[in-house]
Every structure is written in structure tokens, then in C-alpha cells.
Structure 1
Amino acid sequence: MVGIGPKQPPSRKGSMHDLPQNLLQQIKDFEDAFTVDRAKLKEIVNHFVKELEKGLTVEGGNIPMNVTWVLGFPDGDEQGTFLALDMGGTNLRVCEITLTDKKGAFDITQSKYKMPEELRTGTAEELWEYIADCLQQFIEHHHENEDLAKLPLGFTFSYPATQEYIDHGILQRWTKGFDIDGVEGQDVVPPLENILKKRGLPIKVAALINDTTGTMIASAYTDPEMKIGCIFGTGVNAAYMEDVGSVPKLAHMNLPPDMPVAINCEYGAFDNERVMTAGLYLGEIFRLALIDLIDSHKDLIFKGQDTSKLRKPYLLDASFLAAIEEDPYENLSETADIFDRELGIRPTDCELEMLRRLAELIGTRAARLSACGVAAICTKKNIESCHVGADGSVFTKYPHFKARGAQALREILDWAPNEKDKVSIMAAEDGSGVGAALIAALTLKRVKAGNLAGIRNMDDMRTLL
């Protein structure tokens, strides 16, 4: 197959010759459907570049390209102690980060709190009270009877938000299963600060950030070759540094055209109807492929078995496919067990071969398509070589994802066969914690220098200096 990616781990290729003709044909059909060759990757990247550019215009496009008001990378000399609040989908994390006098070094203390399920559909006040409770517990444990007036907070709020200032953000829409009335369309900073003030906690939000931007900044703090931050998890996203002069929707502000500003792409919306590379979709694509096979080819697979469990949308997640790809046994006994346990189906040996190949194809497709966003940013910015800081469950846990993505970059960016990777995607630093603290530090540093672009509460900021 052309362009299927790097060599697969020792799999079932040798035994495929023993499969009946009808299953071999079905595997070929799957290969035709899910293979993304070099030409298609390049076509996608060219379209992607145009969509990135459109998102920077006043009219906008499918990709929001949110301006973050993070104006530049850290130089490694940032110092001070900062609070970081990370509101994820499942947990709330409170961190205290000290950026030390050793270049690129930091100390971190943190506590994790489970987000109660009822909060997801509760009231706005319940949400902010709960967050304040967690912050207060953390403060009382670590800073009893101390003056907190100069302890700035970096708030990682990883939901799509419009930011006209770095110290505020208007929630565009809830994601990750949240549906709390009275928050969408509102600035999320004042209600939190108001509740903290009522409790006698004079903590001010110095920066509201997205985890992708935090990932880029935290990674650049320890590695100056970092130019892009990515998330490959339940969703996908990237952040990079753009010149203000290349952002038409900022033209009215008359800022220096060469001033850098971090852009949170929110490119999970890129061609949403067809691409579907995120972890959220991998198990669902696998499930739909099997349902299509069951419905269109009677008794081809799972003959005489109850397949009703497979009819439930989004029943399978990316970990289901990962388990199949990680099955180390020649007879694929672990794959057989997971099908029996999760779906009540006992595949035959031949069916197991096909299921393994289908999982490999879908996992490879996702990794190759995920590389297109990185390649598009590099193409747009004429970046020939850099490091890319990546986080997210698919990147860190899905087998062969990194190698397959790296191979796709080689093909898209036309590196010579023996040439070393010029753009390397590697594990990121803690963007939601360290990144939030660093962005708070960078914000205060530029306030001190008199660069007040994208800052709303000047007086509050100056009290933190």
C-alpha cells in the first residue's frame, strides 16, 4: 500500500494468506477506505493552510484562530511563585509553581479534586463556589495566615473562549459534557474573582489560558526549539506564535506588525464532517465499519451471534482500539477476550485477523491526519525545523501514534529518505499548570515594561507586581 505509514509491529500479515477470500476482499476494501496516501495528505495540508489564514481574518472561517494575548515565548529567566488553576473535564487541579533562578527550572506543588457529576448541569454559582472551595482548601493548607495579595493566578480554562484581553474570556460554548446555564456568552473571570473576594482571598487572575497555549509555552520554557503546542486526546488542537501583522482581525488596534501573539487555533472544527481524527471518534469509526459489514454482508462475520451491543453509538472509545493493537499474542487471544467481555461476541480466528487489521488502519489514519495540522502551521509560517510539544491521551497512550505521525510529516514535508526529522513531535511539559504560571509571569513582566496590549484590569495587574 502506498503511504500507509511506518512499518507496523509484527502483526498478522503472515497468516492473512490463510483467510477466506471474502474476508481478504473485505480487508482490501477497508485498506482502500482508510488509507491516506502522500498525495491526499498534501491536498489536506494545502486546504488546512487556507482555513488557518481565513480564521485570522475579520470574516473568520471554520477554524476560530482565537487570539490569546500571550505576546511571546519565555526566555527561561522568569521567576516568582504563582498559583495555577486547571479546570478539565473530569478533575480540577490547583497548583503552586515556583519558577526558580535556575534557567528553565521550576518546583510544583499540586492537589487534584474530582469535579462532581452534578456540577456539569448545575448552576453557575455552584460551579464558581466549588472552584473557590478547592482553591481555599489548597491555600489554607499551604499558606495559612499569609498575605496572598501578590500571588497571581493563571487559570487554565480549556473550553472555547473569545479573549479581547488576557485576563478575561467569554465562553463561546460548553464542551466535555458541561451544560451550565448562565455561563455561555459571559466573561468567566469576574464571577470567580467576586466569590474569592467574598471569602477574603484577594487572588487575582493574571491570565486566562487554554491548555494548548499553555502546552506550547511550558515546553518552550525548557526547550527553546519548541514552536508549536498540540493536544491529541479526546479532541485535537494546536497553538503557535503569529506576527500581529499577519492577523487582519487585529488591524484596527494599530499594534506593531512584528509583535508576536499566540494563536489558539481550536482546529478541531476543521472539516468536522469528514476528517474525525480525535480520540473521541476512533472507536466509533471502528464500530460503524463493523455495523456496515454486518448489515451489508449477511453472515460474513459473527455468524449466529447477538451483535445488538454494537448498535450503541460511541460505545467504544480509543482505548478499545489501542488494546487490540497492543495484543502481543499470535492468536490474538486478548482481542478475543475484549470482544467477549465488552460486546458478548466471540470472533473466529479469521475474524480476529480482520479486526486487528481494521484497528491498525483506523489508528494509522488518525495519526497521519493528525500530522496535517502541524504540517499546515509549519507550511504557513515557513518553519523548516522545530520541536512540537504534544500532550493528550492519544499521543501518550495510543500504540505507534508518534511513529506514524512522524512518518506522515516526512512524506508531507518532503524530507530525503536518510534525512533526520526536522520537525519533531515530542512529549510536552505540563501546559495546564506550569504553562499557566509562565503565562501569568510573562503577562506581569510586560506590564512592568509598559506593554499593556490585551490587558483589561491594569490596576489589578500593577498590585501584583
Structure 2
Amino acid sequence: MDTITSAHGLVPLSTVATNDQVELDSLPLELQLELKRLKDDFTVDSKRLKHIVSQFQEELQAGLDKYGSNISMNATWVLGFPSGTERGKFLVVDLGGTNIRVCWIELRGREEELLITQDEFRLPDELKTGEAQPLWDFIADSLETFIAKHDLGGSEEEPLQLGFTFSYPCHQEYIDHGKLVTWTKGFEIKGVEGEDAVGQLREAMAKRNLPIRLVALINDTTGAMIASSYTDPQTIIGAIFGTGCNGAYMENVGSIGKLDTQLPQDTPMAINCEYGAFDNAHTALPRTSYDVTVDEESPKPGEQAFEKMSAGLYLGEIFRLILLELHGKGIMFKGQDVSKLREPYLLDTGFLSGVEHNANPGMLFDSPTRDAFKQKLNLDISDKEIVFVRRTAQLISIRGARLCSCGIAAICKKKGITSGHVAADGSVANKHPEFKRRWAKAMAEVLDWPGDRKEDPITITSAEDGSGIGAAVIVAMTLKRAKEGNLAGIREK
């Protein structure tokens, strides 16, 4: 019997479904009507999913054929999957959305556990929207602090080998080069777009005489795929379901029409899709008025259409906009001060997940949801409103998970992939308790998996640290093939 866990133990899903309907029927008519409207707006059925996936395939191919396409399909110069025998000690710096993370990683082969030492450095908010130089200085200072703290040494003759995880759309002519196409994830730093981010970091490190050789620029999605395949040969795709959304997979060089290279046509190369930009023309995705508002009020209106409907950075914001609208209609939080609710991006996906899962079934509203609304928004929420917000959170999260399946399904259909593991990193994939189940259900609908299957042929596995371990493995792979004389995509030093 299927169950969920509540504060009172295991509760049968059938009971929860029954209680849900009783609760929904007990709502005031105005909330019932609003909930019906939201359900209509946020439901993406199988037919619509298949239409989205079909257009997704077309945009993926367009990105391989020519530069300047909607989905950029960036060549990474990561040639093939790792063998699992890569060894060595490597430095990694990872520019995330909130922190700079610096790692010292010792790879010891697939059969032995790797060793990792890491520190995080909080990225000041003002650096996310300022000038370029303070950003690179901060990263270089973080590297210098880390090297000194852990006594890593390094010299001009034997520099520390560095992988730079930079998870933003870049055009890479070489593996140690990356011209930033556009900032995403709320960053808007002047003087970087259109420039080589690697070159700018190198200059900042050179000013400090750091004993570092920057070997490879890595996107976290590619890193997730490589890190997982290092230990799991069944890995087929890397994915990020977190603050942003993206996918990476192996494509034959001969299928990358825009690439000018002498490599054999069947050489596999990792492609960083950057498919958060899918459907920027707004012809396939079922956008709501809330999605339009999120886009128009973002730092990059008209860009990253798919990401703004499916990624963790935006799901809580959509939820906030719904609540604010209903307050404005006089339907929710009547007579209360909603000044906190007016703060953009105050609510994250963790809040959304909590609202969905904290309320106990059966009208038992001594739940953490009430406390969460009071602490985060200074709002007193009624029993009826708890029923409404829980269902609204479900609708938003279900739509997000179903849309997230589309990019992966499109890659699988394009490449004829029928089984394997999707190595997923990101808070939504790894922390939302219902995401994987909802994602798998949508995959089954799009790919027409048989209803009597004993297991799903394509499943999500956790890529625990693609941005760190993956970067180290890619550095090892790059140094190895350079030593063997394969310099494709490697700048000569």
C-alpha cells in the first residue's frame, strides 16, 4: 500500500486523497474558483509535453548546426567519458550563485574513494551586479587564502593544476577558454559578457603571482555528467535541477555542424546545452501571467524562458506572486500587513516544498506551515488558506518537474537513448521529496514507457559534486590527452 509520512506516522495515500477532496470542497467558493483557475493554468498534460519535446529537439539541433541559435549547445572540448583510472591532485574553484568554493581533490581511480578538502567564501551581493575586476579579485584572493591555509605549495616550475567551474553560458574555442555569452541566475556584472572569463581570472591570479595553471573551464552540468560517469559507467546525461536548469550529453563531433575541427567524426564531445533558453520566442511553453511577470521583472527580460518556468530560483517567486495577487483581490490575508510578501524572491523552493509537505492530512493544522508563514512573512494563515496554499504549491512544483523532463526526453529521443542514468545535481532534484517521482511520470508519458514495466529504464541518480569532482576529473583527462599528443581544443602554452 502506498503511503506518505505525516507527523502522525504513515498515512495511506488513498486517505490523503479523500481528505484533500473534502478539504478542497470545504473551501470558500472564491478560493475554489481561484484554485480551479490555477489548476487550468499550471497543468501540462501529456499532449502538451510531447509538443514541447518535439520543439525542444528542433532547437537542440539548431544549436548544433550554427552559432547564435536560441539554445547555444556549447562545445566543451571534453572528449568522451572518463576511463575511471584518472588519478592525481587538483585544485578547483567553483563560482556558484551564493558562494565561491575552493577544493583540493585527490583522485585515486574508480575503485578507491577520492579525498577532498574544501572551503567556501561568501560572495558579497554587491559583486553580483558591479564591475568585473572586484569579482576576479575576490576569486583570486579566495584561491590565495586557500593555498596558504592548506599549505599546498606550488611553484612556477610545478604549478597547481586548476579547474575553473563557471556555470554560465560560454562559447569555448578551447577547453581553457570561455567567452561569456550572457549572465544568468540573477548575475549582471559589467565587463564580462563577450569577454574571455578565463583570461580575466588569469590576470587576477598573475597579479598575485599565484603558482597556478588554469587547465580547464567547466560548466557544472558537464561536471555532473563526468563526475558521475567516473564512478558509474551507466551515466548518459548530466543535469542541473536547482537554481537554474541545464543538461549535458555526449555528441559525435560529426553531428556538430558549426564546429571546425580535424577530429574524427565519431569522436564524442560533451555538449553543454544551456537549454534554460529554450523557447525564448514563447511558441511552445504554457506561460501564465505569473511567468510573464517573472520574466519582465528579471535582469534579463526575454531570456531563459524555460529556466524561469522550471528552475528553483523562480518557483518560490511564482508562488509569492500568486499570493500577492489574491491579497490584492481581497481573497487572502484580509486586513493584514503584506509588506514582507512584497519582497521579490523572498520565498525559495525550500519554502514551497515545506508548504506542500508540512501540513498534516485530515485538517490537522497545528502544522509547521502556520509557523513558516508567521516567521517568514509575518502573516497569520487560516485553516482554509493552508489548504489553498498547499494545493497551489503542489501545482507549481508538479509543473516544474514535468517541464524539467522535457529537456532530458528531447536529448534521449534525439540520440536514441533508451536506458541509463541521468546524473542530477541541484537542490530541486536532491531535496524536493516529490521531484523525482513526478519527473519520472512525465518521462514515461513522453517516451511511451509500458505501463506494466517493473522499473523505469531511465532514472535520476544523484551527482553529489559535479562542480568540484567533475572539474578535477576533466583536468585529469585534459592533461592525460595533452601528454599523449591530442591537443584538440587545448591552447599551447
- Maintained 8 Å contact 1:105/1:222: no
Partner of residue 63, structure 1: 71
Stretch moving more, 233-242 or 442-451? 442-451
For the pair 1:117 / 2:128, whether they are aligned, the reply is no
The corresponding residue for 2:482 is 447
- TM-score, length-normalised on structure 1? 0.89
Tell me the secondary structure at the aligned position of residue 249 of structure 1.
Answer: coil
> Bigger shift: 401-410 or 321-330?
321-330
**1:79 positional shift:** 1.2
1:428 to 444, 448, 463: 463
Shift of 1:144: 5.5
Trace 1:222-261 onto structure 2 (pairs within 5 A). Answer: 222-250=231-259, 252-261=260-269
Which shifted more, 15-24 or 395-404?
A: 15-24
Runs of 5+ in structure 2 lacking a partner?
A: 1-12, 288-305
Structure 2 counterpart of 1:184, from 193, 206, 214: 193
CA–CA distance in structure 2, aligned partners of residues 433 and 277 of structure 1 = 24
1:308-387 equivalences under 5 Å are 309-330=340-361, 331-332=364-365, 333-387=367-421
Q: How does 1:256-295 map to 2 (within 5 A)?
A: 256-272=264-280, 274=287, 275=306, 276-295=309-328
1:98 Cα offset (Å): 1.2
**Aligned counterpart for 2:431 among listed residues 377, 394, 397:** 397
- Per-residue CA deviation, residues 43-87 of structure 1 (Å, 9 max, x unaligned), is 111111111111111254211111111111001011111111111
Q: Partner residue of 1:10?
A: 16
The equivalent residue for 1:302 is: 333
Q: Do the aligned partners of 2:154 and 2:160 also contact (CA within 8 Å) in 1?
A: no
CA RMSD of aligned residues (A): 2.3
Deviation at 1:18, TM superposition (A): 2.7
- Where do 1:194-233 residues align within 5 Å? 194-233=203-242
- Are 2:68 and 1:34 equivalent residues in the alignment? no
State how far apart, in whole Å, the 2-side matches of 1:180 and 1:390 are.
28
Match of 2:101 among 71, 93, 99: 93
Distance (Å, rounded) in 2 between the aligned partners of 1:453 and 1:388: 27
Change (3 A) 1:25 1:133: closer
Q: In 2 relative to 1, CA 23–119 (structure 1 residues): closer, same or farther, beyond 3 Å?
A: closer
Report the number of matched residues: 449
8 Å CA contact retained: 2:359, 2:386: no
Distance change in 2, residues 1:129/1:20 (3 Å): closer
CA distance change for structure 1 residues 244 and 138 in 2, over 3 Å: closer, same or farther?
same
Superimposed CA distance per residue, residues 251-306 of structure 1 (whole angstroms, 9 cap, x where no aligned partner): x33432111111111111112553511112212222333344455xx544434444
Contact 1:104 1:221 in 2 (8 A): no
SS at match of 1:421: coil
Tell me what 1:463 maps to.
Answer: none
Map Cα deviations across residues 159-187 of structure 1 (whole Å, 9 max, x no partner): 22111100111122333444433322221
Aligned residue number for residue 293 of structure 2: none
Structure 1 residue 311 displacement after superposition: 4.2
* CA distances 1:388-445 after superposition (whole Å, capped 9, x unpaired): 0111111122231111111111111111123110110121131111111111111111
In structure 2, do the counterparts of structure 1 residues 139 and 300 end up closer, same or farther at CA, with 3 Å as the change threshold?
A: closer
Instruction: Answer with 8-17 or 204-213: which moved more.
Output: 8-17
Letter in 2 for 1:422: P
